[in-house]
Amino acid sequence: MRARKNRRKSVKRRTSLPRFKVNWRSLLLPPTLLALAFAALISSRELLDRPISELIIDATFQRVSAIQIEAAVAPELERGFVSIDLRDLKERVEEIDWVDTVNVGRVWPDRIVVRVAEHRAAARWGQNGLLNTRGQLFTKSSRYTFPELPSLSGPEGSEGEVARLYLAVRGRLAEAHLALKAFSMDPRGALSLVLEGGQQIRLGRDQVEARLARFFDVAAPALSAEFHRIDYIDLRYTNGFAVGWHTQPEAEVVASSGAAPSG
């Protein structure tokens, strides 16, 4: 008797998905409706794009006048409220001398607002240039002289470095009750300060920040009683400084390492 083997057959079940009929024609708008929708869009834009009736200028008006701003934006104001190019409007105002930052915007239904902040002059640069409080040279030919501001100078392209050092040092000068008259960099890159009393502070090219620290922490306190007699203070020494006096022809070395001044 033969044993009968039961065989199992694996059957994959097929899942039938429901079918939907889509009437694509019903989803397409007739050409007439499309034309009406487009016409409505154009009409609504024309209704919104009304002529600009008012220009509002928000500024301090110290160096920049309202007339300058109006003249700069006048060509753009011929366009409508929606179609006016605010970016172009902003760029036109930014080209005005003394303008630092500009913000423009729309005010419904037909007004344009222009907000202007002017540069704040922190120092003079060269003959007629001016640096702002961030050390940026914002004009090379200022009509104003500002004799009360310190004079900074240096080779072309050095204004950023000179301004950075000046901005870093002016606070410490105020703490030491000293005022800066001039700060300059020569063609070799050597830096020097001239104080309001006429004293020259020679810093050289190297380790400028360390030498400034030595001036404020050591030289200025040690010489405060005799500061009016000083012609110059030379900080280009390894561990000290030299002082030149108005009353004697040669410098007196104070706390010096004995080495000659370096760069």
Q: pLDDT tens for residues 217-245?
A: 999 999 999 999 999 999 999 889 999 99
Cβ pair 104, 112 in contact under 8 A: yes
CATH architecture of structural domain 121-254: 3-Layer(aba) Sandwich (3.40)
Q: How many other C-beta atoms are found inside a 10 Å radius of the C-beta of residue 119?
A: 20
Return the minimum-mean-pLDDT range out of 23-37, 46-60, 64-78, 191-205: 23-37
Return the minimum-mean-pLDDT range out of 17-26, 77-86, 209-218: 17-26
Cα separation, 178 vs 211, in Å, equals: 17
- For residue 191, the cross-strand partners are 185, 204
54-118 is a CATH 3.10.20.310 domain: yes
Say whether 121-254 and 54-118 share the same fold: no
* Encoded tokens for 74: 């006048």
Cβ pair 36, 95 in contact under 8 A: no
List the chain domain ranges: 54-118, 121-254
- List all residues 6 or more positions away from 107 whose beta carbon is below 8 Å from its beta carbon: 56, 113
Which secondary structure element, helix H or strand E, spans residue 223, and what is its range?
helix 220-223
Residue 182's Cβ-count burial label (10 Å; 0-12, 13-18, 19+) is: middle
Cα separation, 148 vs 247, in Å, equals: 29
pLDDT at 11: 30
Reported as a single tens digit per residue, the pLDDT across 155-174 is: 988 999 999 999 999 999 99
